[in-house]
Amino acid sequence: MRFSIPGITAVVVALCASNLVRAADPQPYRVDIGSTGNGAMDGTLRATSDLVSLRTSAPVSPFGLIARARGEGDRLKTVLESYGYYQSSVTVTIDGMALGSGELANSLNALPKGKDAKVAVRFDLGPLYHLRGVKLEGTIPEAAQGVFTLKPGDPAIASDVLAAGSRLQTALQERGYAFAKVDAPVAYEDQTEPLLDVSFHVDAGRRVKIGQIRIEGLKRLHEKVVRRRLTLHSGQQYSSSAVESARRDLLGLGPIASITVQLDATADADGAVPITFTIHERLRHAVTFNSAYSTDLGGSAGVTWSDRNVFGNAEQLNVAASIINLGGSATTGIGYDTSIKLILPDFGHRDQSLQFAVGAIKQSLQAYDQKALTAGVSLNRKLSSVWSASAGIATTEEQITQESPAAIYTLVTYNYTLVALPLGLSYDSTHLASPLDDPTHGMRNSLNITPTRAFGHPSSSFIISQIKLADYFDLNALGLGAPGRTVIASRALAGLAQGASELSLPPDQRFYGGGSGTVRGYAYQAIGPKFQADGNPIGGTSIAAASVELRQRFGSRFGAAFFVDAGQIGATSKGLPSEFRVGVGAGVRYYTPIGPIRFDVAMPTKRTRIFYADPAYNAQGVLVNRPLTVEDDAFEIYIGLGQAF
């Protein structure tokens, strides 16, 4: 007998709502779905069950419950058949009574109000069907014959049978047969044994090349920019993956929102198929807002205005301004941070951009007060899908006020002109479009080396080197949890300033520890060498820090994190610090389309106390000292967008 495998044309059964017969009092119920011994099949059965999915969202009367249960048998049997059990059966009972029992309705109506009815679903799988014969009808090019791996003796699982045909069609299209078609398989059942014969009809069609490439839909973006970027060329052999790769690559241009690709229905006389790329551009201008809060740095709020296509060549202009240090235990006044950046894509070479940037910053911290004007030019090159490099020149004109190391209670203002040559190399295998997206696998690593000449008091030359490593491991790889739901994130940071002593470095070029970037639980810049007079940070010439964080998602929107951070700042480059500061904490996450909103609470495992004498004048005008104590905060709170790293 010839028939279509029910699960082949519908592996995942659409959930449909039962006709509900409403009564004055809905009948609550519990569902017990028996196990088949196959975890994947059990999961599909539960996901397909109306009794499970509608139990709380769509209450029913006793009669409605019976109707819902009657529709369950055929629905779940289709799932069993899709796994190869074509002689299976499904039995549903309510309070131990068959659905056809004349007493069932009366029994349900007699239940006390609020008492659950007990619904039991049981399965008789029968024999597992296997494939006896597998036949391909039509001509298959030799280059694609090895792709079809379905063979006699395999279980007759619908998803596997369908996937075999899909793989064959994809392989043909990948090898130049753009119009290849593999029809849905037809199955024949043996009348005496649990065996199936399946056949596929294959029409490979003609092998073709890429023909004329049309670009449509452009408004402000120049067509020459798109064509220069396009990795697809007329005359090359057609490949479905090459077409898709070209489409994805074009999406990297900032002005492009989406791209659709359409092949002509037939090839021309030369065996070439024309292709049309229809491009939809984004709105040219965009405004984004940002805010964050932590107990150490206080609040911040900012706005960024962007022009995604300044002159029609995909140039991007970003103008940003933020108010920073709104309160906070590590700050002494309100500041600002502003910048203007112009990015020229594909500058001189594909995947190479040139960036011009100017900025101004003012911040008042416990460590120092700073006003600075910055300017720089950098060349950024994407070396591969995971590697990128950068080089540039940057200048800073700044005024910094910090305590004098020689005179207690005296503030000294330093004026510096810095000229730096920042060099960077980065590796990112997370393959995420935005740094705010939640990484669940891969690594983010970077190495930055910045030779700098500081003209000021004192002048100095030095090289600052930093290496950052971050790894994201999905515990699903060990069979624990669903993909992307439980992730262990870890990071390490090491930095070293060479060529100048601690106090010869400008204060803003020194290393500081504490805060969300290094060790949570300690206030920003609170870890490291301190002035003995009042406990304010000095900064150091080396840093070593590491973090481990367990990230767990709950449902579709919420998650939690548990973390341990450790780190220390050194005043010399000889070896690692002898004592690390450790912070521990936990937080919650709310996942949004633009990234997770983070709320973390962390505390130090050891609170450092510093005793100093605070100068004051008595009633007679005589300078006296009063003893005061500085101690690390008991905890810190961090709120922001995106994961901590």
Average pLDDT over residues 366-389: 96
Whether residue 613 is predicted with pLDDT greater than 70 in this model: the reply is no
pLDDT in tens, 3-41: 444 443 333 333 233 333 334 478 999 999 999 999 999
Q: Is there a single domain that holds both residue 161 and residue 214?
A: no
pLDDT of residue 142: 83
| C-alpha neighbours within 13 Å on the C-beta side of residue 245 | 10
pLDDT of residue 20: 35
- How far is C-alpha 429 from the chain's CA centre? 11
Give the whole-angstrom CA distance, residue 537 versus residue 507.
10
Average pLDDT over residues 371-392: 97
- What DSSP string runs through 497-532? EESS-GGGS-GGGSB-B-STTS-TTS-TT-BS-B-T
Tokens of 271: 């065996």
The residues, any chain, with a CB within 8 Å of residue 311's CB and separated by 6 or more, are: none
Residue 624: which pLDDT band, with cuts at 50, 70 and 90? low
Give the whole-angstrom CA distance, residue 30 versus residue 94.
10
Nearest to 506 by CA among 402, 391, 352: 402
- How far is C-alpha 74 from the chain's CA centre? 40
Please state the φ and ψ torsions of residue 444, each to the nearest 5 degrees.
Answer: -130, 110
Greater pLDDT, 542 or 616: 542
Tokens 């207690």 belong to which residue?
A: 408
pLDDT of residue 618: 60
- How far is C-alpha 357 from the chain's CA centre? 28
Percent of the chain's residues with pLDDT above 90? 80
Whether residue 407 is predicted with pLDDT greater than 70 in this model: the reply is no
Whether residue 480 is predicted with pLDDT greater than 70 in this model: the reply is yes
Whether residue 245 is predicted with pLDDT greater than 60 in this model: the reply is yes
Residue 591: which pLDDT band, with cuts at 50, 70 and 90? very high
Q: Is there a single domain that holds both residue 407 and residue 500?
A: yes
Give the whole-angstrom CA distance, residue 416 versus residue 394.
14
Average pLDDT over residues 231-258: 95
Q: Is there a single domain that holds both residue 569 and residue 634?
A: yes
Number of continuous H segments (helices) and E segments (strands) in the chain: 8, 31
pLDDT of residue 3: 43
Neighbours of 220 (CB within 10 A): 14
Whether residue 400 is predicted with pLDDT greater than 50 in this model: the reply is yes
Pairing mode, if any, of strands 29-33 and 117-124?
Answer: parallel
Greater pLDDT, 249 or 631: 249
The residues, any chain, with a CB within 8 Å of residue 278's CB and separated by 6 or more, are: 216, 217, 259, 260, 261, 262
- Number of domains forming the structure of the chain: 4
Whether residue 483 is predicted with pLDDT greater than 60 in this model: the reply is yes
Q: Partners of 631 in the beta sheet?
A: 609
pLDDT of residue 17: 33
pLDDT of residue 405: 77
Average pLDDT over residues 201-227: 96
Q: Is there a single domain that holds both residue 179 and residue 243?
A: no
Q: Is there a single domain that holds both residue 246 and residue 292?
A: no
- Full domain range(s) for residue 465: 285-641
pLDDT of residue 9: 34
Average pLDDT over residues 636-645: 95
Nearest to 134 by CA among 212, 57, 188, 76: 188
Q: What is the mean pLDDT of the chain?
A: 90
pLDDT of residue 434: 86
Whether residue 381 is predicted with pLDDT greater than 60 in this model: the reply is yes
pLDDT of residue 14: 31
Q: Is there a single domain that holds both residue 432 and residue 349?
A: yes
pLDDT of residue 532: 75
Whether residue 520 is predicted with pLDDT greater than 80 in this model: the reply is yes
Least confident span in 109-113, 140-144, 515-519: 140-144
Average pLDDT over residues 604-610: 81
Q: Is there a single domain that holds both residue 16 and residue 104?
A: yes
Residue type, 630: V
Q: Is there a single domain that holds both residue 319 and residue 170?
A: no
Which CATH number characterizes residue 367's domain?
Answer: 2.40.160.50
Average pLDDT over residues 593-610: 89
pLDDT of residue 620: 66
Last-in-domain residue among 162, 178, 203: 203
Greater pLDDT, 500 or 276: 276
Residue 503: which pLDDT band, with cuts at 50, 70 and 90? confident
pLDDT of residue 6: 41
Q: Is there a single domain that holds both residue 138 and residue 98?
A: no
pLDDT in tens, 64-110: 999 999 999 999 999 999 999 999 999 999 999 999 998 999 999 99
Give the whole-angstrom CA distance, residue 240 versus residue 215.
18
Average pLDDT over residues 218-241: 95
Residue 456: which pLDDT band, with cuts at 50, 70 and 90? confident
Whether residue 2 is predicted with pLDDT greater than 50 in this model: the reply is no
Last-in-domain residue among 124, 141, 159: 124
Q: Is there a single domain that holds both residue 465 and residue 537?
A: yes
pLDDT of residue 404: 83
Last-in-domain residue among 155, 178, 203: 203
Whether residue 535 is predicted with pLDDT greater than 90 in this model: the reply is no
Give the whole-angstrom CA distance, residue 227 versus residue 24.
67
Greater pLDDT, 579 or 582: 582
Residue 202: which pLDDT band, with cuts at 50, 70 and 90? very high
Q: Is there a single domain that holds both residue 135 and residue 60?
A: no
Q: Is there a single domain that holds both residue 329 and residue 416?
A: yes
Tokens of 380: 């950024």
